[in-house]
Structure 1
Amino acid sequence: MCGIAGIFHLTTPKPVDPARLERMCEVMAHRGPDGQGTWTAPGVGLGHLRLSIIDVAGSPQPMAATDGRAMLVFNGEIYNFRELREELRGAGATFHTDGDSEVILAAWQRWGPDCLPRLHGMFAFAIYDLDQRTLFLARDRMGVKPLFYAPLSDGSIAFASELKGLTAHPLLRRELDPLAVEDYLAWGYVPDHRSILQGVHKLPAGHSLLLRHGAPLPAPSQWWDVSFADRRAGRAADLEAELLHLLRQAVSSRMVADVPLGAFLSGGVDSSSVVALMAEISGDPVKTCSIGFDVAALDESNYAAQVARQFATDHRARNVSPDDFDHVDTLAGMFDEPFADASALPTWRVCQLARESVTVALSGDGADEAFAGYRRHAFQHGEDRLRAILPQALRGPVFGGLGAIYPKADWAPRPLRAKTTLLSLAASSEAGYARAISVLPPELRDSLYSPEFLRLRGDYRAEQPFEELMRRAPACSGLDRAQYADIKFWLPGDILTKVDRTSMAVSLEAREPLLDHRLVEFAASLPENLRLRRGEGKWLLKKTMQRYLPDNILYRQKQGFVTPIAQWFRGPLAETARSIGSNAALARAGWFDARAISAMAEAHIAGHSDHSRLLWQLVMLDRSLSRLGIAA
């Protein structure tokens, strides 16, 4: 796992200042504490930070091809590199290292951009081809590894693994994109189709970009997509056997490392499944780690301990106080862009614990998106059945009217919080799911914006690209379209961003076996009732893992990492909440209605309503803009 950066001149091949590359790398030093290097040629420069995982003593970067005709900087891991190396060696390639970086170079020189489907793994890399005078940028299928890029005023393109790598370049303009604020308030993160800074782009997951000297900046090209359009036939028992084979293959391929390796263990279905399969494969005890909370309602550490005992893992656990609010600025620095998923705090904590004993940790991320494991999937499935029965002309006025007058009962038991469901049923399947997955609905966002910001935003709404993604999904049903949007939008924008930044902040490599593309493609082809049955998500996955895990692990209610931000804003962060509406930088910016925010803060502090997610979003937005040096 590493960090990469580079500069490429599209027009005149001007010299690249190595000092600029070094500065771009230095601000990302946490991504690669084991080595740093730069390489320049007319019109191009590449920089690299190394966290040594495979071929620890060899494979320095930037790396030259055997014949010196191509240069590579690479962030990630190629899990099938040994098989590819043998295939390429049979075709005449020669290798001088034992790592995966040299394999990427040889694959590029043999197959060009067509090398990408042959690479199994997580990656973001750049290859400069000296013969073709091109720079090739590529990102893995799921978007596990990030890649930012931006055109600059001197005719160059700069790229880096993190936004802070770009902001270290003196020519990058730091101007806010107001549409990114709209996106952020809707989703709690800035999705991959946008950046908080105007002119900065994120290479989308499963895309590549080929740059040529003397040619304009092209649009990214998609090289991979997942399809829910084709249903796999066969007996459930046969599909179960195939799933188990794919799970074992995904886990075993990610256990290759020349440094200590372990796993996160929360005690939930997904991380427990990964640990169970690791224990089956490994001859040594698996190193596992988990964190617990000293608030009983938030603590799941007893389930993690149960799984650790069952598989005799070398388990390390630590209790942390949920009162980690004093690390808000540290968190903002990790993400650069505003990021309001509060589970980032405990995720960072478990990464810190893991890094004390291992350099690589396997996680359970991805199964919910691929196998329909979220509660919202069951709701979407049920709502679509009702939508199929009742025409929009009836649903719209009836459910829309009821939803408009139904109170937002944050205090009520979950079954009585029907406002969101009613408004969802009044809308299309796409609009309903966008509402279900969003943090703040459009009517609440509109009530917070100032007239000036509404003018800047114009006709754009954050839900528009999400709904369009669902509409054009290769899918058979509403559930398919919802999962497709999760994989293409939510997963890279939220989940994988969270894991990448919090793990790399402590120089830890996180690997996600349940996001092996063969496993995801298999899950997408399953009939709906093998993903979601009688309200039970991940049905086939759980049935497959019954041979390893007890029912109280497989079938208890999903919880996940919880951070008590509602309590924080009624206690130690109460004054912070009040300042957002009165004297914070955001209030001075004029984007929001300060009185509306102040009223919501006071209602939350008094316990009348729960506005904690909104307050957390605004705090993180304020801190992020301050760190980026944007005048608010």
Structure 2
Amino acid sequence: MPFELIHGPGPADADQTRRWLEEGCRSAAPIRQGFVAVLTHADGTVLAATSSRSEIALYYWVDGSGLRWSPTVPGLVRQLREPPPLDVGKLADLMALHDEPERTALEGVRRLPVGHRLTWRQGWSSPETERWFTPSAEEDRSIRPKDAAGLLRDAIRHAVTASLPSSGPVAATLSGGLDSSMVAGTAASVLAGSGRTVHALTHVPLPGTADQSSTWEADDGPYARRMVDEIPGLEWHPIVHDDRTSPLTTLAALFPTSWSPVLNPANMVWLTAAAGRAAELGSPLLLTGASGNAPFSRDRDGLVRQLVTRGRLDRLPAEVLRRQRAGVPVHRAARSVLAEAVGERTRELVRQHLLRIGPPPAYPSFIEAMPLRPETLSDAARRRLAALDGSTSHSQADWIDFVLRDGSLATVPPPDGIWWSDPLSDPEVVSLALRLPLEAWLQGGLDRGLARVAAEGLVPDHIRLRTTRGAQAADVGQWLHGREQEYRDLVDRLRASPAASTFIDLDRVSRQLESGLPSGRAAAAWEETTGRALGLGLFASWYEDDVLR
């Protein structure tokens, strides 16, 4: 019976994977890299599954002639008699940051998300799909908080080891943050003594780029370079966008390969350069830490409140003490713990109706800045927008959904022979993170405390204890400088696009462009709203012009 296994650069046992698939994916994942496994029985029954790592998905189509599938969108569409139309509602939802993972931007083209299995039989109008990766989200109180960092460090080491090719160089994205630094530092540790190099790729902004705020720095370069100097086995490769091409130019080059929209056009500029550099260096994969915010560097937002709701009030004095030991004055430490204990809604009510102080929430301005036509949004996307103005605390289920999201919207199609690999989405890492007791995440008195403790010895302290964050593509304002006509021409093009003109308020965009493109810190905010909308519109126009016509 035909069986196909598509997997990462490491070794894979095809027979074991096939048995696992036939057993309904009831045992642990047989291979640790991202993979798709498809088994077709003699009677036409198809069994398929994707790994739980956010590295690959399966796209499929069902019609009267049967089931077609491919690990890429163009590979699937080229099997069809004619290309399907655009799903305008999906594009509108993406603009509102809502992604229904089984639905793509092309009508009828479905996606089997990571961590899912599929069963289809002849005559079925649609397959049955279900999530096979269902780790427990219940706290394991038998895990001692002081042991959590060591357990998490070991799990990440296993995941990184399983990701590495058997020989040759390795490339990794490296910012000055915890996630990518943990992955790159662990890879260097695993390969220590082997003579193999981890090539660390860092986006460095153009000179003159200002920090976005006191907590968001524009340039991660000094952090990354210093780490490479201190950690054996790392070699630094700064990526500077000297030619200042706009994100639109990058997207226009990507769409013919990906046939997929993207959420952050500016990030595609340096990610494309990173993938190309990895290929030049001869690395078969590019390591990332894209999923780290959920299973590794989870912030403490909502944790104190959850302790209160579960009746563990006795933990609060210890948390005040931890923050004091981290250098926070005791009165501020106590006030912050108390504020987190009462919850966000209570704090906002106090701010609005009693104190009337403090800045307004950040998200309403973000929502208002998006030039979308709200009537095109789904009900789920409307709820998503409403939630942006509410609590930002994440439940355990939210973290699972974050890890299983569609990575194709956030990464670029790598050159042939290059594999994107995210060890922080590994099933062992995710399963452990979901079981850790709440107290385990509250370590060291600093936000993201568990990750800081787990990274000790692998990530230098100048990054491990860093309290600011790096802003990706902070120099986008310099890329946009002088390109007003390019964007005005795009708006004119989008007016002729049936899809783009449906979900984007192009008149509003035109009014924005009358005063020119933003610069400095304002450019980053503009790119996340109007720039995102124009990128989605450009995809729609490209698909209509180059595929449908």
Q: TM-score range by the shorter chain?
A: 0.7 to 0.9
The CA deviation at 1:585 is: 4.1
What is residue 362 of structure 2 aligned with on the other side? Answer: 420
Rounded Cα–Cα distance in structure 1 between residues aligned with 2:533 and 2:84: 20
2:406 is paired with a residue whose SS is helix
Whether the aligned pair in 1 keeps the contact of 2:17 and 2:37 (CA below 8 Å) is no
1:75 aligns with 2:2: no
Whether the aligned pair in 2 keeps the contact of 1:262 and 1:360 (CA below 8 Å) is yes
1:247 aligns with 2:189: no
| Matches for 1:112-261 after TM superposition, within 5 Å | 113-114=25-26, 117-130=29-42, 133-152=44-63, 154-187=64-97, 190-261=99-170
Letter in 1 for 2:280: E
Rounded Cα–Cα distance in structure 2 between residues aligned with 1:535 and 1:186: 35
Rounded Cα–Cα distance in structure 2 between residues aligned with 1:169 and 1:620: 27
1:519 aligns with 2:429: yes
Rounded Cα–Cα distance in structure 2 between residues aligned with 1:71 and 1:255: 28
The CA deviation at 1:508 is: 0.9
The CA deviation at 1:186 is: 0.7
What do residues 220-243 of structure 1 show as CA deviations (whole Å, max 9, x unaligned)?
Answer: 122112443324344333223322
What TM-score comes out, normalization by structure 2 length?
Answer: 0.77
Unaligned 5+ segments in structure 1 are 1-69, 82-98, 407-414, 424-434, 472-476
Q: 1:367 to 1:157 in 2, by over 3 A?
A: same
Q: 1:485 to 1:579 in 2, by over 3 A?
A: farther
What do residues 507-555 of structure 1 show as CA deviations (whole Å, max 9, x unaligned)?
Answer: 3112222222111111122233432568834312211222333321112
1:493 maps to which of 380, 401, 406: 406
What is residue 259 of structure 2 aligned with on the other side? Answer: 336
Whether the aligned pair in 2 keeps the contact of 1:270 and 1:364 (CA below 8 Å) is yes
Whether the aligned pair in 2 keeps the contact of 1:371 and 1:531 (CA below 8 Å) is no
What do residues 361-389 of structure 1 show as CA deviations (whole Å, max 9, x unaligned)?
Answer: 33223221213546977999988744477
1:577 aligns with 2:464: no
The CA deviation at 1:208 is: 0.8
Q: 1:107 to 1:587 in 2, by over 3 A?
A: closer
The CA deviation at 1:135 is: 0.9
More deviation in 541-550 or 291-300? Answer: 291-300
Whether the aligned pair in 2 keeps the contact of 1:362 and 1:512 (CA below 8 Å) is yes
Rounded Cα–Cα distance in structure 2 between residues aligned with 1:227 and 1:547: 30
Whether the aligned pair in 2 keeps the contact of 1:121 and 1:140 (CA below 8 Å) is yes
Rounded Cα–Cα distance in structure 2 between residues aligned with 1:218 and 1:526: 35
The CA deviation at 1:127 is: 1.1
Rounded Cα–Cα distance in structure 1 between residues aligned with 2:518 and 2:198: 45
Letter in 1 for 2:284: T
Rounded Cα–Cα distance in structure 2 between residues aligned with 1:129 and 1:259: 38
The CA deviation at 1:316 is: 4.2
Rounded Cα–Cα distance in structure 2 between residues aligned with 1:108 and 1:612: 43
What do residues 126-159 of structure 1 show as CA deviations (whole Å, max 9, x unaligned)?
Answer: 11122x531111111244212111223x432221
Letter in 2 for 1:197: L
1:301 aligns with 2:221: yes
Whether the aligned pair in 2 keeps the contact of 1:261 and 1:287 (CA below 8 Å) is yes
| Matches for 1:385-534 after TM superposition, within 5 Å | 385-387=341-343, 390=346, 416=359, 418-420=360-362, 441=367, 448-449=372-373, 454=375, 457=377, 460-464=379-383, 479-481=393-395, 484-489=397-402, 492-494=405-407, 497-499=409-411, 501-502=412-413, 504-532=414-442
1:138 is paired with a residue whose SS is strand
2:95 is paired with a residue whose SS is helix
The CA deviation at 1:113 is: 4.2
1:620 aligns with 2:535: yes
The CA deviation at 1:166 is: 2.4
| Matches for 1:317-332 after TM superposition, within 5 Å | 317-321=237-241, 323-325=244-246, 326-332=249-255
Rounded Cα–Cα distance in structure 2 between residues aligned with 1:127 and 1:245: 33
Whether the aligned pair in 2 keeps the contact of 1:371 and 1:537 (CA below 8 Å) is no
RMSD: 3.9
Q: 1:353 to 1:196 in 2, by over 3 A?
A: same
Q: Percent identity?
A: 19
Q: 1:346 to 1:373 in 2, by over 3 A?
A: farther
Rounded Cα–Cα distance in structure 1 between residues aligned with 2:301 and 2:515: 28
What do residues 19-65 of structure 1 show as CA deviations (whole Å, max 9, x unaligned)?
Answer: xxxxxxxxxxxxxxxxxxxxxxxxxxxxxxxxxxxxxxxxxxxxxxx
1:220 is paired with a residue whose SS is strand
The CA deviation at 1:489 is: 4.2
1:324 is paired with a residue whose SS is coil
Letter in 2 for 1:616: G
Whether the aligned pair in 2 keeps the contact of 1:580 and 1:598 (CA below 8 Å) is no
What do residues 279-331 of structure 1 show as CA deviations (whole Å, max 9, x unaligned)?
Answer: 33322243223233333644323322222222222514144226132323113
Rounded Cα–Cα distance in structure 1 between residues aligned with 2:29 and 2:189: 29
Letter in 2 for 1:220: T
What TM-score comes out, normalization by structure 1 length?
Answer: 0.68
Rounded Cα–Cα distance in structure 1 between residues aligned with 2:263 and 2:207: 22
| Matches for 1:35-50 after TM superposition, within 5 Å | none
What do residues 429-467 of structure 1 show as CA deviations (whole Å, max 9, x unaligned)?
Answer: xxxxxx9xxxx52x555x742xxx82x55x624144799
1:125 is paired with a residue whose SS is strand
Structure number with greater CO (CA < 8 Å, separation at least 6) is 2
Whether the aligned pair in 2 keeps the contact of 1:587 and 1:594 (CA below 8 Å) is no
2:277 maps to which of 353, 358, 376: 353
Whether the aligned pair in 2 keeps the contact of 1:582 and 1:598 (CA below 8 Å) is no
Rounded Cα–Cα distance in structure 2 between residues aligned with 1:582 and 1:256: 47
Rounded Cα–Cα distance in structure 2 between residues aligned with 1:566 and 1:191: 31
The CA deviation at 1:173 is: 4.3
Whether the aligned pair in 2 keeps the contact of 1:250 and 1:514 (CA below 8 Å) is yes
1:150 is paired with a residue whose SS is strand
Rounded Cα–Cα distance in structure 1 between residues aligned with 2:56 and 2:30: 17
What is residue 100 of structure 1 aligned with on the other side? Answer: 13
2:26 is paired with a residue whose SS is helix
Q: 1:388 to 1:514 in 2, by over 3 A?
A: closer
Whether the aligned pair in 2 keeps the contact of 1:372 and 1:538 (CA below 8 Å) is yes
Rounded Cα–Cα distance in structure 1 between residues aligned with 2:479 and 2:352: 39
The CA deviation at 1:488 is: 1.2
Letter in 1 for 2:7: G
The CA deviation at 1:162 is: 1.7
What is residue 201 of structure 2 aligned with on the other side? Answer: 290
Unaligned 5+ segments in structure 2 are 210-217, 307-335
Rounded Cα–Cα distance in structure 1 between residues aligned with 2:351 and 2:82: 47
More deviation in 348-357 or 165-174? Answer: 165-174
2:232 is paired with a residue whose SS is coil
Whether the aligned pair in 1 keeps the contact of 2:9 and 2:165 (CA below 8 Å) is no
More deviation in 253-262 or 592-601? Answer: 253-262
Whether the aligned pair in 2 keeps the contact of 1:530 and 1:540 (CA below 8 Å) is yes
What do residues 338-382 of structure 1 show as CA deviations (whole Å, max 9, x unaligned)?
Answer: 213121221221121122221123322322121354697799998
Rounded Cα–Cα distance in structure 2 between residues aligned with 1:615 and 1:324: 18
1:208 is paired with a residue whose SS is strand
What is residue 460 of structure 2 aligned with on the other side? Answer: 550
Rounded Cα–Cα distance in structure 1 between residues aligned with 2:101 and 2:410: 13
The CA deviation at 1:120 is: 3.4
Letter in 2 for 1:460: D
